[in-house]
Structure 1
Amino acid sequence: MQVQDEDKPYDDINITPMLDLAYVLLVIFIIMTTASVQGIKVDLPKASTSASLAKPKTKAITVNNNGDVFLDAYPVTMADLEERLRTAKAAEPDFPVVVKGDAAVQYQKVMDVLDLLRRLELNQVGLVTGRAEKG
């Protein structure tokens, strides 16, 4: 074992305590930033018209490659579709509708659905398409 001379300066700095401090500060910083993202918990007041403030549910009309029509994944005829959409319009006058037509379906079948939506004066209509293949 070597004994250090009294007059020789101390060369080495022990950085272990500084690293421990840096890790502790890092952990505290991570915990504090994630805790502040969650926000403040408050007890919200109840509104008497909360149901009317909710966004109306979107109706999905699908026409498959055989020409069959589905409303929200349930098979319907055109007369049944009209009846159900009239009922939905009576409950919520301006609800969104999306139309999904198979690429192999006859164009006339999709046009029949769009004509029905126009007759019922449903203006929020969207047509669903797929992404184009990059080649």
Structure 2
Amino acid sequence: MRRFSKKSHGAVADINITPLLDLAWVLLVIFIITTTAMVQGIELKLPESTPHETDMESNTPTLSVKKNGDVYMDEEKVKLSELEKLIRDLKAAKGGKLPLVLRGDAGVEYKHVVAVLDILQRIPVEDLAIATKPINE
């Protein structure tokens, strides 16, 4: 007579997915934090104005003019001579309608912002929002 059962004691084929779910949540949180940081774009001190909110999509292209006159399209520095072609190509790719956000540093010389506005007027860009921060009263 045999005292041991004939059951086989093989390897368990189940996968514990709890650590995988934890990893997925951590990656999701990191993605959310980095994308909100990227939306801010180039660091500028925006001029103040009275509050007026305009709803823009989160993926709206942003033109930033720094205090020294450098122009950035989202995060990429562009020359004024190349800006018109870049925006024309982007507008054609979007089907003729291109909303833009223009951000200018509070200390930028007016001529730099006017140069960008002249280019936008030649294209023409109809949906233009100028970013400011609200006046603290």
TM-score bin (small chain):
0.5 to 0.7
Who is 1:85 aligned against? 87
1:110 aligns with 2:99: no
Distance 1:57 1:87 in 2: 17
Q: Map 1:24-103 onto structure 2 (within 5 A).
A: 57-92=59-94, 93-103=96-106
Distance 1:56 1:73 in 2: 15
| Shift, 1:131, TM fit | 1.7
Structure number with greater Rg is 1
For each residue in 1:37-59, what CA deviation from the matched residue of structure 2 results, as whole angstroms up to 9, or x when unmatched? xxxxxxxxxxxxxxxxxx79411
Who is 2:134 aligned against? 131
TM-score normalised per structure 1: 0.56
Are residues 121 and 56 of structure 1, via their aligned partners in 2, closer, same or farther at CA, if it must alter by over 3 Å?
Answer: farther
> Does the CA-based 8 Å contact 1:68-1:75 persist in structure 2?
yes
Distance 1:82 1:108 in 2: 17
Q: How many residue pairs end up in the alignment? A: 80
Unaligned runs of 5+ in 2: 1-56
Distance 1:97 1:117 in 2: 9
TM-score normalised per structure 2: 0.55
**Which residue identity is paired with 1:100?**
R
> Does the CA-based 8 Å contact 1:56-1:95 persist in structure 2?
no
Unaligned runs of 5+ in 1: 1-54
Distance 2:101 2:129 in 1: 5
The sequence identity of aligned pairs, in percent, is 35
CA RMSD in angstroms, aligned pairs only: 1.6
> Does the CA-based 8 Å contact 1:63-1:70 persist in structure 2?
yes
